[in-house]
Amino acid sequence: MKTIHVVCKREKKDALEIAGEIVKRFGDGSRVVIEEEAASHIGYEDRFEMEHVGEGADVIVVLGGDGTLLSVSRHGKGSEVPIVGVNLGGLGFLTETSIEETAVTLDRVLKDDFTISKRIMLDVRVMRGGDSIFEMTILNDAVITKDALARIIDIETYVNDAYLTTYKADGLIVSTPTGSTGYSMAAGGPLMYPSLTNLIVTPICPHTLTNRPIILPESVVIRAVLKAMNEKVILTLDGQVGFPLGYADEVIVKKSDHFVHLVKSARGYFEILRTKLKWGER
């Protein structure tokens, strides 16, 4: 018997209804386990805590938007269980599967008739005075940004200890190819095919017009040192987790040993780009 973990966007009615339908359709031949908060909403007893998502599961079903899937990817890092992302949100670059495709896609996965898109993750660490004070593994991006009222900040940046430049900007983004369609794209960064393993460094509103995004190989270690004094600066991870930075703090980013395995939908990547970004429309 295969085990299905179901994660719902919190308090979203559609997600809870679909979770109940998954239990009815697949509960006889498989064990369906639902994240505890959603399970309590629908009165379901077989549940798990989010910190244990993917443990002992054969597939994870995410019912929500890209934000829900990003949360699952961080909590479930290391399990590398195939994830079916069902789009109940907005753009849905990560949650490729439509509501109508959910049952058919999940049935294929349970029969081992599916393909995956293997996505790299990033290990992010903050060093202060030689000590590691914060670390996390993420899927999309690490963003250093100033407070709304702060002045332009200086970010001294190194690649494998070789000095790259000191960005004078509103901030700096280090992104995976998966995250290239997010904040990095909005800041003028390139789109990258999601199965690639490069890292993207994109300045946010740089004061020097010659500063441009740069694509780096997967083997590098990026070190960004904050040189702004008396300014409010924050490190934001996947747009969901924040950590305040101080003068001389070092943000170290490198490709993780962990991957996220997303189940591919029937639609191809370029179709998704055309649909979500309206390519070719006038």
Helix (H, G, I), strand (E, B) or coil at 20: helix
Cα–Cα distance, 216 to 156 (Å, whole number): 17
Q: Structure tokens of 123?
A: 């290990």
Asked if residues 31 and 55 have their Cβ atoms less than 8 Å apart, the reply is no
Helix (H, G, I), strand (E, B) or coil at 105: helix
Helix axes 102-110, 13-26, angle to 10 degrees: 40
Cα–Cα distance, 15 to 225 (Å, whole number): 42
Size of the chain in residues: 282
Tell me which of 14, 28, 46, 66 is the catalytic residue. 66
Cα–Cα distance, 79 to 5 (Å, whole number): 12
Cα–Cα distance, 77 to 75 (Å, whole number): 6
Cα–Cα distance, 102 to 23 (Å, whole number): 13
Considering only CA atoms, give the Rg of the chain: 20
66 is catalytic: yes
Burial bucket for residue 238 (CB in 10 Å: 0-12, 13-18, 19+):
buried
Q: Which residues are identified as catalytic?
A: 66
